[in-house]
Structure 1
């Protein structure tokens, strides 16, 4: 081997170069592998979501919203709770019902810009985000500000006279259903392909 002493199979220069490359690879892995795991982990996370009662059918009008508290993540107390705004499906406003899970409208309070909590203003019939000025109309479509898509919704159904809330889903401007996406991920046009659904998330849990 050129540059080697008699009997040498690896030169000192090659050994030092290989050692430096190995150390660099180990150092890079220490940063890259945790970041990759953090980014890819949710894709394979399996999350079973149950239905929960939110009140009798008579509690919900079809021309205004009623706030209800639901549990988003169980086992962590008040931190795992959130508010949804609910009303009965109104054919004149919402069009024809899609299926048995569309009898009531349940709108998430998480803004689709950066996830801040929105509130419904009955006098203006608008959902308002106080953080960055996001505005949504009566059905949750974007009406102004930076949000990239309408507010998320929840599946609903009736069991034993009680309205129940099921899994969350996302919608585009035509209110077409998509599996849940994170705030900032658009679903209109090319956005639905740039932000694909997670394969582990089911649209509707077992009834």
Structure 2
């Protein structure tokens, strides 16, 4: 009877531990890479407003794998971060950095507004009010030889717009936040 109780306890413990272990370790082996996607011609983009475009973040899951990205040309009088080959076009995520709700750009206010909890972001995507802990995530962009804009992998930014590998909403990157919330092992930074 004691042996049977030990076996039943072992089975019950493994019923809890094995799924938890798989959930914790599984993302290490997940090789998710964001493909570069052609979205719009460069000459169709304004530098004083945003145009929404739909991109695919995860293939093979239908509409659930799609997201909206807001695009505009880089404007030297507004954008203060150094220019490089990946930010000639600014591409902002629509995912609020508070809890991940969708934000939308309101052109009359020149702000991104999160309707769920009152998050407000300015024209550049920096936090302007409410509970978000950091600016909106961005996407790498590049321009093809044919003058088309391609959107690539997502990255997170802190208040100074320094790039970090992607983080989940609610994870601050200023101060000790970048050390308390390291990136997940399954997400790799663009190294080109």
How far off is 1:21 after superposition?
Answer: 4.5
| Kept after mapping to 1: 8 A contact 2:81/2:161 | no
2: CA distance, partners of 1:142 / 1:22: 54
Q: Structure 1 segments of 4 or more deviating over 6 A?
A: none
1:107-126 pair list within 5 angstroms: 107-126=92-111
Q: Unmatched 5+ residue regions in structure 1?
A: 1-14
1:91 to 73, 76, 92: 76
Bigger mean CA deviation after superposition, 172-181 or 32-41? 32-41
2: CA distance, partners of 1:186 / 1:128: 19
| Kept after mapping to 2: 8 A contact 1:85/1:106 | yes
| Kept after mapping to 1: 8 A contact 2:96/2:119 | yes
Higher relative contact order (CA 8 A, sep 6+): 2
1:53 to 38, 41, 58: 38
| Kept after mapping to 2: 8 A contact 1:108/1:154 | yes
2: CA distance, partners of 1:116 / 1:51: 24
1:179 corresponds to which residue?
165
1:169 corresponds to which residue?
155
Structure 1 residue matching 2:55: 3-state secondary structure: strand
For residues 79 and 201 of structure 1, do their structure 2 counterparts lie closer, same or farther at Cα, with a shift above 3 Å needed? Answer: closer
Structure 1 residue matching 2:78: 3-state secondary structure: helix
2: CA distance, partners of 1:96 / 1:80: 30
2:57 to 54, 61, 72: 72
TM-score, normalising length: structure 2: 0.91
Over the residues paired in the alignment, what is the CA RMSD in angstroms? 1.8
* 1:192 to 2:178 alignment: yes
Q: Unmatched 5+ residue regions in structure 2?
A: none
